[in-house]
Amino acid sequence: MSDDEDVRRAIALSLGESKGPASDSVEDEDAQYRADLERAIEQSKASAAVPQPQAPAVPTFLSERAQLEKARLERQKRLRGEEVDDNSSASSARPEKRQYVSSSRLPAQTNTTASFARSDAPVAYTAPSGSEPFFWDGELRQTANKHVDSRKDTRPTFRLSEIIGQKSEVTFAIMSSYALMLPWIYEFFSPSTPVILVAQPNETGNESIRNVLPDWVMTTPFLRNGRGCMHMKLMLLFYKTGRLRVVVNTANLVDFDWRDIENTVWLQDFPLRSKPIARDPKAADFPAAFERVLKALNVRAALENMLKTDHPDLPIKSIHDIRCSWDFSKVKVALIASLAGKHEGWPSAIQTGHTGLMKALRDLGLRAPKDKEIVLECQGSSIGAYTTQWMNEFHCSARGDSAEEWLDQSKTKRAKLPWPPVKILFPSLQTVRQSVLGENGGGTMFCRRNQWDATKFPRELFHDSRSKRGGVLMHTKMIIGTFRNRNTIFGGKQRPLDVDSGSETEDSDIVEVDPSDAKKDYAGWAYVGSHNFTPSAWGTLSGSSFNPILNITNYELGILMPLKTDKDVDRIAAWERPPRKYDLKKDLPWMQEESTVLKGHR
């Protein structure tokens, strides 16, 4: 495939509204992904904004790319002291912008927050009081949104321009996104800033590294048989002052994710150490987990490529430098990653997927006490293929319990378990229609009729997803786990599958645990990141208690934080609580494949 063909494909992917296959069975993962992507591209093309009559003609992206490449070569000539044509410069190039929602389809009036600037194009960022705000203790916020109810939107938010900050201060960036508008995101950075961009592999699923813009390298990780998604949303932003900003969020690098639908961002700033520490290959802390993620995403190879070519003076020479050169002592969250592939044996399995969540819960002292149960509220934009076996498997990890005893149970027994205490949050058809953008805004939410109508599908677990900020739809992926007395959930009975969480074998063979971890007085915990509540995102467990096997389809990333009080739970949750349970006599989930409005765009 030629470089121009790669760029054309990148643009096509940037138009995609799908966040991955709606079905989670391995057999149809690839077919579903392609079908969703093709349909989303056609819808997005049909709903692209019409240019203003007064606007000057904008050259195609490929033409702009050629101009940028020419500017890069001329910049290199200047460095070598050669003569160049001063009439062209990289800063004059403005890649073509694309818009998701048709202006002709928008309501005549929409509520807009006072703090929100138009985000259909990058805006200049002005920090409060003329200074750049830093977040040394970490910060979780919703994204600014054009359509929220200003009366309900009372808490601070993040814009992408605020997250990145002053263009001239950024010396290097590493970013990842599933959906991508390359010309749009390019404008948030200075033309000379080197960027490594992690994206979805092509249909082969092979690793790749290629230049897509001057000073921009795109890298893709490996996907078995080309199935699954590189679904992580992360940023590592390096600044001239030495500061490193780490961002884990739920939004893709597309304009409508930062303008029309609600997303959530966690970020934290980290200072440069006065002197680097020695590398510890056995480290298992937050920055060490990030090293594993970057290696899996093929960033290490992309970094080596950049250092050997045009950028020998990057702030890091190796992904190991991140942990060694920056001080992460103030981080209070755990990094939760899903790495696509087969993970066999406990040392491998507890570093990823839902068993990685289990380990993080234990490390943070968030394991469910024996006299309590964990109730989950799972908000996402894509519905999976659920079975009672997988749901209980996930819930076991969400309690912080080992899967050893779970795996020793017969498959027949596991398949007959009742549903655990889980609330699946997904917008009802009525909620989508009543939102500010109506059905036009539902292009990133996926539930299929064949899922909903399946005989054993957990319809009784569905609850309506309604943002606390008014009539906007949520692309936020968040799980809230709250501790509740078991008597109030199971009527005094045992858990559906009771695990002896005090087993000496369990604790010693899997992970060392603070004996007092179950006694800490927490209300619960929150996960925020790219994981939808699906087997593709969190993995499926098989094998035995001696040799477990965790298979994961996607690359995903998020953070886990403790919640000390019920007030903290309500503050962090992006939705109205308690969520309203579906009335199965009249409620249906939003199914975009049945939308006559969206069909009109095809």
Separation CA 171–CA 189 (nearest Å): 10
| Catalytic entry in 147, 231, 320, 601 | 231
Where residue 131 falls among pLDDT bands split at 50, 70, 90?
low
> Helix 3-14 vs helix 61-79: angle between axes, to the nearest 10 degrees?
120
Element (H, E) at 40: helix 29-46
> 137, exposed or middle or buried, with CB in 10 Å at 0-12, 13-18, 19+?
exposed
* Model pLDDT, residue 126: 39
8 Å CB contact between 223 and 68: no
Question: Mean per-residue pLDDT for 463-482?
Answer: 97
* Model pLDDT, residue 415: 85
* Model pLDDT, residue 39: 56
Q: Does 123 have pLDDT greater than 80? A: no
| DSSP string across 385-451 | ---HHHHHHHHHHHTT--SHHHHHS-HHHHHTPPPPSEEEE--BHHHHHHSTTGGGGGTT-B--HHH
* Model pLDDT, residue 584: 97
Q: Does 43 have pLDDT greater than 90? A: no
* Model pLDDT, residue 135: 97
| Candidate from 84-93, 244-253, 563-572 with smallest mean pLDDT | 84-93
Q: Does 15 have pLDDT greater than 80? A: no
φ/ψ region of 129 (left if φ > 0, alpha if ψ in -120 to 50, else beta) reads left
Cis amide bond preceding 347, omega within 30: no
Retrieve residue 379's tokens.
């908000």
What are the start-end ranges of the E strands in 96-207?
A: 139-143, 157-158, 170-176, 195-198
- Tell how strand 139-143 and strand 157-158 pair up: parallel
* Model pLDDT, residue 376: 98
Could you give all domains of the chain from N- to C-terminal order, each with its CATH number?
A: 369-540+557-599 (3.30.870)
Where residue 101 falls among pLDDT bands split at 50, 70, 90?
very low
**Which is more confidently placed, 24 or 588?**
588
* Model pLDDT, residue 361: 97
In the chain, what percentage of residues exceed pLDDT 90? 67
> 73, exposed or middle or buried, with CB in 10 Å at 0-12, 13-18, 19+?
exposed
Residue whose C-alpha is closest to residue 230's, from 558, 556, 476: 556
Query: What angle (nearest 5°) sits at the alpha carbon of residue 252, between those of residues 120 and 263?
Result: 80
Q: Does 497 have pLDDT greater than 90? A: no
**pTM of structure:** 0.79
Q: Does 98 have pLDDT greater than 60? A: no
Where residue 32 falls among pLDDT bands split at 50, 70, 90?
low
| Candidate from 99-108, 129-138, 186-195, 454-463 with smallest mean pLDDT | 99-108
Please confirm, yes or no, whether 463 is among the known catalytic residues.
no
8 Å CB contact between 526 and 565: no
Retrieve residue 348's tokens.
């491998």
8 Å CB contact between 528 and 574: no
Q: Does 320 have pLDDT greater than 50? A: yes
* Model pLDDT, residue 416: 87
Q: Which residues of 37-59 are buried (b: 16+ CB within 10 A; e: fewer)?
A: bebbbebbeebbbeeeeeeeeee
Annotated binding-site residue? 19: no
Q: Does 465 have pLDDT greater than 90? A: yes
- Tell how strand 462-463 and strand 422-425 pair up: parallel
Please confirm, yes or no, whether 231 is among the known catalytic residues.
yes
For all residues of the chain together, what is the average pLDDT?
A: 80
pLDDT tens digits along 327-375: 999 999 999 999 999 999 999 999 999 999 999 999 999 999 988 999 9
**Which is more confidently placed, 371 or 121?**
371
In the sheet with 372-379, reading across from the earlier edge strand, the strands are 334-338, 556-563, 524-529, 477-485, 372-379, 422-425, 462-463
Residue whose C-alpha is closest to residue 465's, from 427, 422, 430, 504: 427
* Model pLDDT, residue 410: 86
| Catalytic entry in 320, 343, 463, 475 | 475
Separation CA 36–CA 21 (nearest Å): 7
What are the start-end ranges of the E strands in 188-300?
A: 195-198, 208-213, 216-220, 234-239, 244-249, 264-270
Query: Quick count: other Cβ atoms within 10 Å of Cβ 586?
Result: 9
The number of C-alpha atoms within 13 Å of 326 and in the hemisphere containing its C-beta is: 30
| Candidate from 56-65, 163-172, 580-589 with smallest mean pLDDT | 56-65
Separation CA 289–CA 267 (nearest Å): 16
**Which is more confidently placed, 601 or 124?**
601
Summarize the chain as % helix, strand, coil (round to 5).
30, 20, 50
* Model pLDDT, residue 599: 77
Question: Mean per-residue pLDDT for 259-283?
Answer: 96
Q: Does 66 have pLDDT greater than 70? A: no
Where residue 411 falls among pLDDT bands split at 50, 70, 90?
confident
CA 561 to chain centre: 16
Q: Does 569 have pLDDT greater than 60? A: yes
Where residue 310 falls among pLDDT bands split at 50, 70, 90?
confident
Annotated binding-site residue? 585: no
For 129, which DSSP code? G
* Model pLDDT, residue 548: 95
